[in-house]
């Protein structure tokens, strides 16, 4: 009887250990997938994440699909269409655009301090697709960017 109880306890312990390892391994794979190489707008500056390390974007980049991303956040798609990367936006190296879910988790403290500034959007009256989170000049015509009325 004692042997059966001991065997059952050992078996249950091994099963829990295997399940624990499986869950931890799954979490590690999910975290790695979230940290794909990409470029993003953070605190009004273009940043690049490469191999899990974030650094300032120092030169213009061409994505795999032909999209050009400039250091000021302006993007020129393969078809010639232009857009601006906004605060919290990410572009994967494949050229796929999306929101940076990592920024919400890892960078909350720095972005929360600037939440007042992030709510204000500035745009060009001649080129409404040109936007910024701070005053400046239009990258297309040089006119002053004005506060966007919501």
Q: How confident is residue 46, by pLDDT bands cut at 50, 70 and 90?
A: very high
**Residues 60-106 pLDDT 10s:** 999 999 999 999 999 998 888 888 888 888 889 888 888 876 544 44
108-131 average pLDDT score: 67
Q: Residue ranges per domain, the chain? A: 1-34, 38-117, 120-150
Specify burial of residue 83 (Cβ count, 10 A radius: 0-12, 13-18, 19+).
middle
pTM of the complete model: 0.47
- What mean pLDDT comes out for the span 38-46? 89
DSSP string, 75-103: EE-TTS-EEEPPTTEEEETTS-EEE-HHH
More reliable by pLDDT, 16 or 131: 131
How high is the pLDDT of residue 72? Answer: 92
Q: What is the DSSP letter of 19?
A: H
Indicate whether 37 pLDDT > 80.
yes
Work out the average pLDDT over 135-139: 90
């Amino acid at each position: 009887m004692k042997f059966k109880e001991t065997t059952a306890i050992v078996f249950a312990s091994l099963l829990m250990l295997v399940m624990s390892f499986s869950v931890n391994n799954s979490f590690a794979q999910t975290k790695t997938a979230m940290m794909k190489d990409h470029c993003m707008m953070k605190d009004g500056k273009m940043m690049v994440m490469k191999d899990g390390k974030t650094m300032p974007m120092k030169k213009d980049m061409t994505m795999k699909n032909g999209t050009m991303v400039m250091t000021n956040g302006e993007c020129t798609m393969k078809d010639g269409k232009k857009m601006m990367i906004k605060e919290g936006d990410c572009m994967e190296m494949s050229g796929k655009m999306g929101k940076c879910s990592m920024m919400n988790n890892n960078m909350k403290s720095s972005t929360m301090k600037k939440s007042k500034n992030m709510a204000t959007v500035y745009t060009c009256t001649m080129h409404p697709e040109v936007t910024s989170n701070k005053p400046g000049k239009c990258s297309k015509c040089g006119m002053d960017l004005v506060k966007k009325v919501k």
